[in-house]
Amino acid sequence: MPGYPNDGFRHFEASINGLRYHYVREGSGPPVILVHGWPGFYYEWQPNIGPLSQYFDVVAPDMRGYAYTEKPDLPPEEAYTPSHFAQDLVALMDHLGFPKACLVAHDFGAIWAQQLAVLHPQRVEKLVLFNPPYGGIGARWFQLNHLFEVWYMFFHQLSLAEELVGSSRQATKAYLRHFLTHWSYRKDIWTEEELERYVDAFSQPGALKGGFNCYRAIFRTGAAPPAKVEVLTLVLWAEADPILPVAWSDRLQEFFPRLTFRKVPQAGHFLMREQPELVNKEIVSFLGSP
């Protein structure tokens, strides 16, 4: 077993769809899976795992290609599409003995969670999504006034990307720091210690490429087709997220018929870290404490 960070959490690993998967698990009660995005891994949920574990059986995995989970060396379209991640979540639930679970997700994680809810709605009790990419955004991703925000999506298509970003620990740190701080309303949450944890995770062999492969898979195969998510869904949308502006929430009801929606002021992309007390309270209220 590889050496996992000493962070006070209980670390586990399992064979999930033939891959060595790493996850953290705390608490007991109804199952809740916390699904990270990019740039992320299980530790982005650090302010949430402990409080939520007082009410739920909380599982926070590193998804395929990320941090301390195995990274299949296959073409992105063969291993990193939303369907691959959704099937991994099903296999993880099977391994843990969860007939169904609640999912809390953001960024790419929100895409994978939606895919799971569409493909296997019987396995999803409820969804909680933060600033989620969804079908109603459409071509707004690449409107002229937003291109300066999404430049990295094009950069990630190049094999040169992991070579440059991974050329040194300093380069990896500078790249990650840019997104963690630029996408946040609260810049002060990213201490040097926090940044070092992210650099450690993305310095694992293949981790930069694994994350970039998610963008490559989307560009090569297209996003999952827009489909309605019929399970009960709570969307919290931060008002200061530059990559997913709150104005893009305007079509949520079309895609989430059973929607509860809240705008969150003074927060950006990393809502769970910028407003953890509010987020934890909303999750417990929506999912229902035992």
CATH number of the domain where residue 276 is located? 3.40.50.1820
Show the tokens assigned to 205: 């062999």
Give the pLDDT score at 290.
47
Query: What's the rounded Cα separation, in Å, for the pair 118 and 127?
Result: 12
Q: Which residue range(s) make up the domain with 108?
A: 11-287
* Per-residue model confidence as pLDDT tens for the chain (290 residues): 457 888 999 999 999 999 999 999 999 999 999 999 999 999 999 999 999 999 999 999 999 999 999 999 999 999 999 999 999 999 999 999 999 999 999 999 999 999 999 999 999 999 999 999 999 999 999 999 999 999 999 999 999 999 999 999 999 999 999 999 999 999 999 999 999 999 999 999 999 999 999 999 999 997 666 689 999 999 999 999 999 999 999 999 999 999 999 999 999 999 999 999 999 999 999 999 54
Q: Which sign does the torsion angle of CA 166, 23, 86, 95 carry?
A: positive
Query: What's the rounded Cα separation, in Å, for the pair 164 and 175?
Result: 10
**Residue 145: inside a domain:** yes
Say if CB 46 and CB 7 are below 8 A apart.
Answer: yes
Alpha-helical runs (H) found in 222-275: 252-255, 271-274
Query: What's the rounded Cα separation, in Å, for the pair 38 and 72?
Result: 17
**Residue 255: inside a domain:** yes
**Residue 222: inside a domain:** yes
List, by residue number, the catalytic residues: 107, 215, 269
The phi, psi pair for 60, rounded to 5°, reads -125, 100
**Residue 6: inside a domain:** no
Single out the residue of 34, 36, 98 nearest to residue 67, CA to CA: 36
**Residue 53: inside a domain:** yes
Domain count along the chain? 1
Residue 226 DSSP one-character state:
P
pTM of the model: 0.96
**Residue 1: inside a domain:** no
